[in-house]
Amino acid sequence: MAERKRLSARDWTDAAVVALAEGGIGAVAVEPLATRLGTTKGSFYWHFANRDALLAAALESWERTDTEEVIALVAAEPDPRTQLHTLLTLAVGGRDGQRGGRVELALLATRDHPLVAPVLARVTARRIDYVARLFGGLGLPPDEARRRGLLAYSAYLGHAQLTQAAPDTVPGGADLAAYVDATIGLLTTSS
């Protein structure tokens, strides 16, 4: 009999985030995840007290990787316009490990869940505030920067929805850069 790899809490958490992206919070279930990971439920209970603890860890991981790590990556760029370009490219084109908005859409469907609601509210506010700061860095007054940050985030969610519902309608590959440039042009043009 082959020896099983000893799984970590991180292995379970990563699998739970993938399950969130694929099927929402209902897909974060111990037995199917154990099967996916090639282990038993006992491994799960070694690391987590219950399913809610795993869901909380998955939400924390998603917030860190798809918000805080993206912001840190973008902040390393030299100026607000380049930062905005990088952010939009990552948001609509994805990056290694990013799920292209699928987790957000799944969480929006269960936004009233007691574990989901505070995380979703915090992530949404953080993202809109960050994008508004980028627009502020381009010289827009605070109210206008906030309005455009909200508009940019709304466009991102719409793009995520289109990517899921009609993937052939969204640009990719060589067309992605032109799409991002056009979007930035629209969002930065004087009103």
CATH code, 93: 1.10.357
**pLDDT higher than 80, residue 95:** no
**pLDDT higher than 50, residue 36:** yes
pLDDT tier at 7 (50, 70, 90 boundaries)? very high
**pLDDT higher than 90, residue 167:** no
pLDDT of 100 reads 64
Q: Is 81 among the domain residues?
A: yes
Q: Is 141 among the domain residues?
A: yes
**Angle between the 116-137 and 80-93 helix axes, to the nearest 10 degrees?**
140
Domains contained in the chain, number: 1
Q: Is 18 among the domain residues?
A: no
Q: Is 162 among the domain residues?
A: yes
Burial (0-12, 13-18, 19+ Cβ within 10 Å), 67: middle
pLDDT tier at 126 (50, 70, 90 boundaries)? very high
Higher pLDDT, 97 or 7: 7
Largest CA distance in the chain: 68
Give me the sign of the Cα torsion angle 170, 22, 110, 58.
Answer: negative
Q: Is 177 among the domain residues?
A: yes
Q: Is 53 among the domain residues?
A: no
pLDDT of 97 reads 43
Q: Is 44 among the domain residues?
A: no
For 5, 23, 38, 42, the CA distances from 2, given in Å and listed in that order, are 9, 31, 11, 18
Q: Which two tokens stand for residue 81?
A: 């316009």
Structural domain boundaries, residue 100: 59-188
pLDDT tier at 2 (50, 70, 90 boundaries)? very low
Q: What is the mean pLDDT of residues 145-173?
A: 90
Measured CA to CA, the distance from residue 27 to residue 89 in angstroms comes to 29
pLDDT of 74 reads 97
For 58, 78, 94, 155, the CA distances from 21, given in Å and listed in that order, are 11, 32, 14, 19
Q: Is 165 among the domain residues?
A: yes
pTM for the model stands at 0.90
**pLDDT higher than 60, residue 64:** yes
